[in-house]
Amino acid sequence: MAKTEVTIVIPGLAAIVSQAINRDAIPFYLSKIIRKANYLPNEMGLSRCLFNNFSEKPLVGTDLPIADLTLTRGQELLVHADPCYLHPDRDRLLLFSKGLDLTKKESTELIKGIEPLLHELGSISEQSHESWILKLLAKPSVNFYALDEVEGKDVEAYLPSGQDRQQWICLWNEIQMQLYNSEVNTRRMANNQLPINSIWFWGQGGEFSPMTTSWSSISGQSALLTKLVERTGHEASYNSSSNSLQFSKGRHLLLLKEVNTELDWQRQLQIMDTKVFEPLWQQISKMAINKLILQVPGFGEYHQTPIRCWQFWL
């Protein structure tokens, strides 16, 4: 008999559920789902989580094939060179790439400043003003690390490895010196904004092999999700703005809006609890959903089934 399986991806929740002090502040239905679910720890970031939901085999390398999704002509060699902020913290450098509010004008000016440093490797351009692409002249012998799995961490353990490691680290340092003297960053700091003082090379982690099984429905807003939908031929199943939580038989994927822990995250979760988790709890407890998977990037997964809902000792 056909079954209904629902996978919910909840970015930003890791910082909340990983702290025991926050448990009493998690709203009622989300708390019930988490408490009664089977928890599987997994620290993969959001990008890897989305890739694995569309991949024939789990991607387990240090990097991800983001550039492979960007290919539109020929067999170009591409790597992301995304702008970021390195924050000195005692003897560490912590990387941050989210919420930098980089404008298109600033992006264009910064790229112009670092272009001369990259001409021997290739040419750099904007994919968007917050995501840059380096088109390479030759394939490097180097391994990179996926950006969102370095977010907020000390970069020392995530620097490039492999035969060409030293060349890329030297380039990385030269770019930082160039950005340090940029007029863009002078203006940004005068306006109490974080400087764009580095870039992060990543996204060349092999080729993507689309899965053979299909999602019955997909919803959520994300540039990467849209590319994965297009690459795997799921356009007919995709509705970025769908608010429906009535699921037919089959497999369904829902990417929720990221929880912003810098704002009132309790209110954000309460709204989600009313609109998302209460209906999901009602459906799974009535066996309208046979399996519910909550994926929390950077933390793990919660697997819930109807029988676990009724196990009062959990």
- CA distances to 46, 208, 210, 242, 302 from 256, in Å: 12, 24, 22, 11, 15
Secondary structure, 3-state, 113-176: HHHHHHCCCEEEEEEECCEEEEEECCCCCCECCCHHHCCCCEHHHHCCECCCHHHHHHHHHHHH
With beta carbons less than 8 A apart as the criterion, state whether 214 and 228 touch.
no
- pLDDT of 213 reads 81
pLDDT at 25 over 60: yes
- pLDDT of 49 reads 96
- pLDDT of 69 reads 81
pLDDT at 5 over 60: yes
pLDDT at 1 over 60: no
Higher pLDDT, 76 or 146: 146
pTM: 0.89
Considering the chain, what percentage of its residues have pLDDT values greater than 70? Answer: 97
pLDDT at 44 over 80: yes
pLDDT at 130 over 90: no
Alpha-helical regions (H) of the chain: 14-17, 28-36, 46-52, 66-70, 104-118, 165-180, 183-190, 223-231, 265-272, 278-285, 306-309
**Each residue's pLDDT tens digit, 274-301:** 999 999 999 999 999 999 999 999 999 9
pLDDT at 72 over 80: no
pLDDT at 312 over 80: no
**Each residue's pLDDT tens digit, 162-219:** 999 999 999 999 999 999 989 999 999 999 999 999 999 999 877 788 887 889 999 9
- pLDDT of 313 reads 63
Buried/exposed 113-145: b ≥16 CB within 10 Å, e otherwise: bbeeebeebbebeebebbbbbbebeeebebbbb
- pLDDT of 208 reads 84
For strand 198-202 and strand 291-296, is the pairing parallel, antiparallel, or unpaired? unpaired
User: Alpha-carbon distance 184 to 263, whole Å?
Assistant: 28
- pLDDT of 155 reads 96
Mean pLDDT of 85-109: 94
Mean pLDDT of 50-65: 92
pLDDT at 29 over 70: yes
**Each residue's pLDDT tens digit, 218-228:** 999 998 999 99
- pLDDT of 314 reads 60
Over the chain, what is the mean pLDDT?
A: 91
Mean pLDDT of 131-154: 92
DSSP bridge pairs for 85? 96
**Each residue's pLDDT tens digit, 229-250:** 998 999 999 998 877 788 999 9
